[in-house]
Amino acid sequence: MTSSFMPSRLIHWLLLLSLLLLTACADFKYNLYDNMMASERAKAGLALKTLNVNGKSISVLESERDPAKPTIVLIHGFAANKESWVRFSRYLTDGFHVVAMDLPGHGDSVKNLNLSYDLDDQVGYVHDLLSLLKIDTFHLAGNSMGGAIACLYAAKYPGQVESLFLIDPAGIYQYDSELMHLLAKGENPLIAKSRDDFDHLMDFALEEKPYIPWPVAGVMAEKYVANRPVNEKIFSQLHGPHRYVFLEEIKKITAPTLILWGTNDRIIHVNNASVFQRCIPHSRKMLMEGIGHAAMIEAPEQTAQIYMDFILSL
């Protein structure tokens, strides 16, 4: 009786111990992630806020508001989040009031498959947030999908946008990229189904990857994979039919515009920078050698300096 009871009891305790270790490991990862994000925000002078914007929960990072400081609004790309701008913002908040939001469907903002995520709808969501914050005029910057949203915003609300900074913006695909070739074969590296897919995406999108401790990278991967259904809907709307002609809309932009592009961008080909420059009046382009799709992540200090120089030159 004892001999048969002991193995069963031992197995029970081993299973319990394994469960506790797994739980502790998960707690450790998420605690480390939260602490690291809080530390990065503090270094950048950014405060985390959650706002109710027309019934939608929107997560925002905002630096101290000072009437003497011009405002900069930052819009992230597809399946990214407001944290994409944190290290970049560290070099801006001394002289600027900085606002970075999680677009609906992203980060810590509302995720609802019944929402529309077309670029034009996203322009409306950004406008609603800025109206709530009573921000009337500002410098506007966007990366990738956020760059396309920024373009449409500047075209629709020209009196609000003092300048436009586009980092590898979406919206024009006249030159095929590596991503376009993969999509044609039925592969989409931007939609991650596993940790391995997420790691591959980071390698694909970023030429100069920042160091991220493995537990934090693990949490980032888990969050990204968990958001797959929303990401799939957003991607389909981003590349589906629209209520507007993008090339025609951006010709309406009146704000001085700087187009910055990484020469090693695999997601949107660098040659599309010239198309943006031809279509947007008062625009100029600059290329960053050896950089991929997100210069503000890959070279935050250099990119911030380029941006500040651009604003000060206006």
* Domain ranges (residues) in the chain: 46-312
Of how many residues is the chain composed?
314
| Residue 222 confidence (pLDDT) above 60 | yes
Q: Could you identify the residue written with the tokens 């070279």?
A: 299
Q: Could you identify the residue written with the tokens 């197995």?
A: 11
Cβ contact 308:91 at 8 Å: yes
As a whole number of angstroms, the distance between CA 220 and CA 227 comes to 11
Q: Mean per-residue pLDDT for 190-218? A: 92
Average pLDDT, the chain: 92
Q: Could you identify the residue written with the tokens 């890959």?
A: 298
Lowest mean pLDDT among 10-14, 59-63, 129-133, 288-292: 10-14
Task: Please list, in sequence order, all residues whose beta carbon lies within 8 angstroms of the beta carbon of residue 67, skipping any fewer than 6 positions away.
Answer: none
Which pLDDT belongs to residue 22? Answer: 46
Which pLDDT belongs to residue 15? Answer: 54
Which pLDDT belongs to residue 1? Answer: 40
**More confident site: 73 or 15:** 73
Cβ contact 280:248 at 8 Å: no
Which pLDDT belongs to residue 155? Answer: 98
Q: 171: phi > 0 → left, psi -120 to 50 → alpha, else beta; which?
A: left
Cβ contact 225:249 at 8 Å: no
| Residue 275 confidence (pLDDT) above 70 | yes
Task: Give percent of the chain above pLDDT 70.
Answer: 92
**More confident site: 4 or 157:** 157
- What does the block give as tokens for 260? 């910055």
| Residue 132 confidence (pLDDT) above 70 | yes
Interior angle at CA 84, CA 284 and CA 192, nearest 5: 110
CATH code: domain 46-312 is: 3.40.50.1820
Q: Mean per-residue pLDDT for 270-299? A: 98
Which pLDDT belongs to residue 126? Answer: 98
Q: How confident is the model at residue 242 (pLDDT cuts 50, 70, 90)?
A: confident
- What DSSP state is assigned to residue 273? H
Which pLDDT belongs to residue 154? Answer: 98
As a whole number of angstroms, the distance between CA 239 and CA 96 comes to 34
Which of these, 145, 112, 110, 148, lies nearest to 129 by C-alpha position? Answer: 110
- Report helix, strand or coil for 192: coil
